[in-house]
């Protein structure tokens, strides 16, 4: 038996023994409102970075907080490992989504609490509990347990934490390019995804990419009185509505020319695996008050969210939106729109097609202003590497059911950046659940996700140590 | 020569002699931010009512401030008149529009100032300067001048001021019904309209009515993560956009079934009069940064805004509209929409048609919630009565060019209420100009409108005294 496996049990015991303190440390992190997308919270984001920096330093990592044009990037290194195993680059983000509409939260989003359900299961409720503070703390606390039990980590580790993930990670790609040597590793570990279900851990191998844009249609040079000008002056809200309406056909397909170029059908064997997963479209939609799949006709829900590109309006604003009524003709109308892209689509071609689509539809006196909000391609990972195999086994050892290779509808652009900029494949392991309400009011993280998540990382680190 | 006409010159002189003080009194009123549509300003609206109450009482009116479910209604009466002339019921409103976007104002909207242009002309800049505080003060100051010069008013007068005009006048119709005896009069005078141009006073005889509604399309029970749900869950922003897009055809006509029922073509003689007015569509649109009429094809701009009904989106909001980006699928999408109606259209039929139009277009899992924001029919006034003739002559005496009977694109629902509830025809005289930017940033009122407006009312009151 190798040194690694002898030490696994003490490390797991150390994790269990200090779980209450691990929870306290997560709460301390959740209490800082690190909303990266709203400049009003810049100070809180910096405070969060300093807090995380301190945690890692106290564990014995060599930590550097790098300033960027946006929010700080933290790099922490551990070189004195128990084996010559592969160096892992662990990625997570310490920023969180905005909390509006605040009135839909049952309590202060930044006053975390553990709530117990009727069935005895417990959840941690707070903004960022699942996305991504709870997840990054599973890794930090796993490192702590290993260090406490053995004085070392099982493998050499570099940690990179960013604070701009929820605002499109504008600083990260340039940072990777500028620090390729410092970030050199054999495999990337990313903790920002879900399990398949409560009992089944998942390794995510398919991710949708993203093209985000805010388009503003401008007409008159100010809001106009709809009585004096209504009927004679161009209303940009109508123009925007027409453009949005034109973006999908009656069968739910996206009408942007060339949008589906390069999109492959899912291979039959993968489709068969998905059909075997315990998945109920009715329950999936029913959980959020819906009943009928709304997207492309003839595609299953899993197919839609894992393998098909989408185009969705995330927000619209135009004219008077306050209390009461104001009979203006708006001077402008604006929509935030994002496309989820799949492997094979070129984000830049999608951007060009979108901009041409809008521009062609502008009537006289209107102009369109485009603000790009980041773009990244869809990804499918090669699951045959030793790190995938080791992680799959470690997860299977920890949880009731074997780990599954799954897809995810969301985008994690870092995975593409690690491929292209650092030459690294990412193993995406996370302990979120589909009902965690990330990006929504009353976000939660299962207490069990946190507890077994920490234990899972302990197991994965030791398993990776044995791949040396 | 009658007593009336002997006293006209001293009254005009009194108006001129105290014009500086009249301006000070207008400024005092403009400084109180009486935004009726925003509950945060309720206290300021009450303060404004108390201020106006005090002004009228100090002139010798018998004043009552009536509480309503919304903002107060002020009724002031003067019975001791210099003649047996007709009793006039004067209407105006002391509330103002909201000021957003505040950043487009050159200065504090509630810190009024007189600015001098390069050509020496002057303007009063403040929210409410033209709509409607400047206008109601022309009448109050005219009364003051008459009282100072003769100790009396030329005719018996009742004044009614409301504080809810900019939020749809919800309390006024019921108030009129409950006070028909107290408000009994021979003619109504309404000061909330424009002149034809700087030199040409106008009496407005055509007004468009209004149907206003806020429609909200609801789908999921919360905002969803567009990665996890995008493509599979119904996006109400798309549904709303499609409905808005469907409301107009490619020729700019409104597609609501029955919308144009009862809408008559403008008679040839009226159309001929309009064609003789000094009006440039290019300048009208050019003033606000536009160039091409956008409404119904084949209709002139004046025809569109005076004689044709419209349907315009006044505001849209859905999903995330703050700084930055948030990739949600919105739970709901909402639009404030208003129709300008013309004589012959039934506002209630339009409401029913709109609600049916929306409901028919709802896909599965969506529902529509309608909040009505007031409705009133379009109006054409009979201009052959003695009050019209007297007012036309009085205005013609004051201004460089003869007074014209004109139309207006906006809605003044009180005119319909006076017709149906009090049996009164309204003479609509106002001194605003098309470029006053009411409802927009940097609202202004010409200093000359204020000065000659006061003098105009002095003349009209004496002229009405002679119709006895």
CA closest to B296 among chain A residues: A231
CA dist B157 to B6, B76, B91, B154, Å?
A: 20, 8, 11, 9
Q: What value does the mean pLDDT of chain A take?
A: 93
Closest CA to A242 of B244, B237, B236: B244
pLDDT for position B5: 62
CB pairs A-B closer than 8 Å: 360
Q: How close A387 gets to chain B, by Cα (Å)?
A: 26
Residue B129 has pLDDT above 80, yes or no: yes
Residue B415 φ/ψ, nearest 5 degrees: -65, -40
Whether B244 and A237 lie within 8 Å, measured CB to CB: yes
Whether A97 and B326 lie within 8 Å, measured CB to CB: yes
Whether B314 and A324 lie within 8 Å, measured CB to CB: no
| 3-state secondary structure (DSSP) of residue B159 | strand
Of all residues in chain B, what percent are helix, strand and coil, respectively (each to 5)? 35, 25, 40
pLDDT band for position B416 (50/70/90)? Answer: confident
pLDDT band for position B270 (50/70/90)? Answer: confident
Whether A410 and B97 lie within 8 Å, measured CB to CB: no
pLDDT band for position B276 (50/70/90)? Answer: confident
pLDDT in tens, A66-95: 999 999 999 999 998 888 889 999 999 999
pLDDT for position A5: 62
Class of domain B3-207+379-465 (CATH, top level): alpha beta
Residue B132 has pLDDT above 50, yes or no: yes
pLDDT for position B82: 86
CA closest to A131 among chain B residues: B225
Question: CATH 3.40.630.10 region(s) of chain B?
Answer: 3-207+379-465
More confident: B301 or A17: A17
Question: Whole-angstrom Cα distance, residue B315 to residue B202?
Answer: 31
Question: Whole-angstrom Cα distance, residue B33 to residue B48?
Answer: 8
Closest CA to B388 of B464, B320, B298, B457: B464
Cβ B445 vs Cβ B134: under 8 Å: yes
Candidates A237, A246, A288; nearest CB to B316: A237
**Averaged over B48-62, what is the pLDDT?**
98
- So what's the ipTM on this one? 0.70
Q: What letter would DSSP give residue A52?
A: H
Cβ B225 vs Cβ A438: under 8 Å: yes
Whether A98 and B38 lie within 8 Å, measured CB to CB: no
Question: Whole-angstrom Cα distance, residue A25 to residue A27?
Answer: 5
pLDDT in tens, B295-346: 899 998 888 888 899 999 999 999 999 888 888 999 999 999 999 999 899 9
Structure tokens at A364: 């006289």
E-only strand ranges, B108-156: 113-116, 122-125
Q: How close B377 gets to chain A, by Cα (Å)?
A: 14
Long-range contacts of B120-124 (CB under 8 A, 24+ apart): B121/B446, B121/B447, B121/B448, B122/B446, B122/B447, B122/B448, B123/B444, B123/B445, B123/B446, B123/B447, B124/B23, B124/B26, B124/B30, B124/B444, B124/B445, B124/B446, B124/B447, B124/B450
Residue from B210, B274, B312, B339 to probe the interface with A (highest A Cβ count within 10 Å): B312
Please give the helix or strand (H or E) that residue A260 lies within, else none. none
pLDDT in tens, B16-47: 999 999 999 999 999 999 999 999 999 999 99
**Averaged over A411-420, what is the pLDDT?**
86
Cβ A436 vs Cβ A127: under 8 Å: no
Concatenating the DSSP letter of every residue in B380-435 gives E--TTSHHHHHHHHHHHHHSSS--EEEEESS--HHHHHHHHHH---EEEEE-B-TT
pLDDT for position B376: 81
Whether B220 and A290 lie within 8 Å, measured CB to CB: yes
Q: Which of A13-27, A107-121, A305-319, B223-237 shows the lowest per-residue confidence on average (mean pLDDT)?
A: B223-237
pLDDT in tens, A123-157: 999 999 999 999 999 999 999 999 999 999 999 99
Closest CA to B101 of A341, A419, A311, A326: A326
Q: How close B272 gets to chain A, by Cα (Å)?
A: 20
Residue B1 has pLDDT above 70, yes or no: no
Q: Selecting from 3.40.50.720, 3.40.1180.10, 3.30.70.360, 3.40.470.10, what CATH number does the domain B209-266+292-376 have? A: 3.30.70.360
pLDDT band for position A1 (50/70/90)? Answer: very low
pLDDT in tens, B109-123: 999 999 999 999 999
Q: Which of A6-10, A454-458, B371-375 has the highest mean pLDDT?
A: A454-458
Q: Quick one: what percent of chain A has pLDDT higher than 90?
A: 76
Q: Which sign, positive or negative, has the C-alpha torsion B393, B399, B400, B403?
A: negative
pLDDT in tens, A196-217: 999 999 999 888 888 999 999 9
Residue from B315, B378, B415, B436 to probe the interface with A (highest A Cβ count within 10 Å): B315
Q: Which of A268-277, B51-60, B69-78, B181-190 shows the lowest per-residue confidence on average (mean pLDDT)?
A: A268-277
Cβ A45 vs Cβ A35: under 8 Å: yes
Candidates A319, A411, A437; nearest CB to B316: A319
Whether B314 and A364 lie within 8 Å, measured CB to CB: no
Question: Whole-angstrom Cα distance, residue A141 to residue A130?
Answer: 15
pLDDT band for position A268 (50/70/90)? Answer: confident
Q: What letter would DSSP give residue A368?
A: E
Question: CATH 3.30.70.360 region(s) of chain A?
Answer: 210-263+309-376
Q: Selecting from 3.30.450.70, 3.40.50.1580, 3.30.70.360, 3.40.190.290, what CATH number does the domain A210-263+309-376 have? A: 3.30.70.360
Residue A185 has pLDDT above 90, yes or no: yes
Q: Name the CA radius of gyration of chain B, rounded.
A: 23
Q: How close A392 gets to chain B, by Cα (Å)?
A: 23
CA angle, residues A167, A169, A171, in degrees to nearest 5: 125
Give A216: exposed, middle or buried? Use CB within 10 Å, 0-12, 13-18, 19+. Answer: middle
pLDDT in tens, B281-296: 999 899 899 998 888 9
Closest CA to A108 of A445, A443, A449, A450: A443
Whether A329 and B314 lie within 8 Å, measured CB to CB: yes
Q: Quick one: what percent of chain B has pLDDT higher than 70?
A: 99
Question: Whole-angstrom Cα distance, residue A220 to residue B294?
Answer: 12
**Averaged over B76-104, what is the pLDDT?**
93
Residue B149 has pLDDT above 90, yes or no: yes
pLDDT for position A276: 78
Question: Whole-angstrom Cα distance, residue A327 to residue A22?
Answer: 55
Question: CATH 3.30.70.360 region(s) of chain B?
Answer: 209-266+292-376
Determine how many CB atoms are found less than 10 A away from the CB of residue B254. 21
Whether A310 and B226 lie within 8 Å, measured CB to CB: yes
Residue B409 has pLDDT above 80, yes or no: no
């Amino acid at each position: 038996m190798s040194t690694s496996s002898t030490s696994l049990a003490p490390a797991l015991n150390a994790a269990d023994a200090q779980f209450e303190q691990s929870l306290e440390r997560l709460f301390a992190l959740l209490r800082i409102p690190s909303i990266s997308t709203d400049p009003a919270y810049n100070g809180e984001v910096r405070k969060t970075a300093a807090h995380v920096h301190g945690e890692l330093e106290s564990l014995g990592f060599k930590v550097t907080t790098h300033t960027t044009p946006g929010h700080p990037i933290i790099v922490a290194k551990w070189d004195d490992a128990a084996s010559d195993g592969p160096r892992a680059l662990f990625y997570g983000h310490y920023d969180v989504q905005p909390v509006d509409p605040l009135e839909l939260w049952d309590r202060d989003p930044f006053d975390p609490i553990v709530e117990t359900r009727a069935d005895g299961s417990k959840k941690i409720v707070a903004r960022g509990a699942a996305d991504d503070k709870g997840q990054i703390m599973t890794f930090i606390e796993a490192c702590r347990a290993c260090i406490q039990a053995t004085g070392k980590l099982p493998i050499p580790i570099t940690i990179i934490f960013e604070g701009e993930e929820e605002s499109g990670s504008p600083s990260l790609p340039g940072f990777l390019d500028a620090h390729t040597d410092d970030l050199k590793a054999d495999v990337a570990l990313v903790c920002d995804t879900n399990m398949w279900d409560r009992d089944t851990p998942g390794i995510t191998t398919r991710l949708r990419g993203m093209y985000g844009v805010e388009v503003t249609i401008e007409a008159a040079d100010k809001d106009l009185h709809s009585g004096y000008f209504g009927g004679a002056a161009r209303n940009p809200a109508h123009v925007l509505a027409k453009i949005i309406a034109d973006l999908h056909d009656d069968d739910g397909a996206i009408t942007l020319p060339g949008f589906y170029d390069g999109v492959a059908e899912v291979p039959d064997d993968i489709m068969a695996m998905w059909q075997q997963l315990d998945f109920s479209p009715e329950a999936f939609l029913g959980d959020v008050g819906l009943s009928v799949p709304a997207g492309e006709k003839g595609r299953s829900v899993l197919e839609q969210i894992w393998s098909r590109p989408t185009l969705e309006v995330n927000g619209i604003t135009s004219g008077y939106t306050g209390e009461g009524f104001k009979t203006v003709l708006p001077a402008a109308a604006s929509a935030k729109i994002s496309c989820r892209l799949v492997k094979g689509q070129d984000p830049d071609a999608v951007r060009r097609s979108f901009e041409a689509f809008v521009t062609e539809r502008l009537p006289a006196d209107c102009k369109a202003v485009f603000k790009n909000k980041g773009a990244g391609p869809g990804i499918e990972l090669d699951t045959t590497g030793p790190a995938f195999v080791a992680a799959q086994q470690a997860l299977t050892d920890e949880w009731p059911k074997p780990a599954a290779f799954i897809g995810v509808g969301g985008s994690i652009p870092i995975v593409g950046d690690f491929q292209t900029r650092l030459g690294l494949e990412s193993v995406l392991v996370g302990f979120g659940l589909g009902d965690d309400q990330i990006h929504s009011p009353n976000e939660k993280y299962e207490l069990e996700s946190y507890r077994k998540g920490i234990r899972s990382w302990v197991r994965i680190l030791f398993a990776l140590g044995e791949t040396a």
